[in-house]
Structure 1
């Protein structure tokens, strides 16, 4: 019996070492050097190559390295086994910090001051008022972001696909409520997952429904934004500013027009990054439950996509 770490683009030595210490006697195989495909029963995956998981004849479950699972669910050869995800306090804290930082950056115009500094300019600017915030996607992480902003005095409205009762902040649901939600917000934040319903949700019509002084932040998934429509909205003042941490193509191509927009903040998918030492115990728990025949935590609904 073995665990395989099929993770592209990251050094996984800390994870491999931690799992080996926590699970003595369990073989930990690391892609691309998988020594015994038949022995692998559990996979921890991130950006798994196509046509690999289907080669594991005894695979019983897959765990995403992070909170997102769209890359796994998009695999054409995804086996019919449970897919679970990581739910981790540090990821949530990072996301809350990132969102707050971008709101404050916009409110106090720090990006503009940075540009002024490069041009040896001394010019005071009026702060931009953000009072009302719409958070699209108030699941586990989105709810904590909403609560963090609510505790700081922002007027928060959460929007989701299904009802979210017993929230201290206002919460609405359904596509019919989306337009009114964003129309009343100084800042619109998306934490939506990648699903068929969220594909190209943020288009020309959506941005026209926002207020012209508003800030748009996307820390969900890049599939949701029609990038040309956002580019036009920013270039022509339909909305005032945006911050994107996720994109349809990552890394963002060098020739992409987004790079030239002064009212767009670009970060390279770093709003919440899994720290490997923090998730070892959760992966161990997943594995032990699998071995004892128990239901795994945080199993993904494939039909919903999250």
Structure 2
């Protein structure tokens, strides 16, 4: 990206379309495929936008474009503008009821319960869209293989080779059963070895003093069941565990956060029902995550 100077040129609204494409795809090449233009054109438009506002919007490392602090603010505003334009198009050219088709959505295992109501609410706005939901360990793999139209999953970094939108950050904390009556956990349960290192390190740092992980599983449902069974402690999604009166946070355990992403195949123009679902879920789930984080 360009090194910005103080001199500014007139701002062009159409440059936001290129900015959004790069932010969602995570690279100039990915954006060029989405927009069906060459990479040089995308780079030129981003440079023009950065010059017009006099600030850097992206930082690049290993071919991945990440939004700067200013870029994050511009991204949120740009997404709102994009949504408003879509609403205007619906008013001018047709109603929501005219969108029909099937959308297959892959959701990360353990998160389906958290967002099922948000997904089903799509019917309230688009009653002629049929939804297929599949719960899998890695929804982004299904999207990359084009076996799913949209994916909802957690990851520390923006998914590679996919068009994606950040929905928020999910909180995880260590939980025990309220049936312990104040007693220390007798068993500490962690995630299987293929879990991301930052998560594994956090879990290991928050087991009881002198204790260690004695059991590992690869299912969020199994983690919760083990805690509810008695004296075990395990990391759980806060937005699900906090609503269960039989679970309680371990007060001395600092919370951990993992980003939640919405993704679709890169370089493939979304069909009307897929685009409608993308826009609805991006806004609806982001609001849900924000509300849960404030509660």
TM-score band, normalised by the shorter chain?
0.3 to 0.5
- TM-score (norm. length: structure 2): 0.35
- TM-score (norm. length: structure 1): 0.34
Q: Which has the higher helix share?
A: 2
Q: Which has the higher strand share?
A: 2
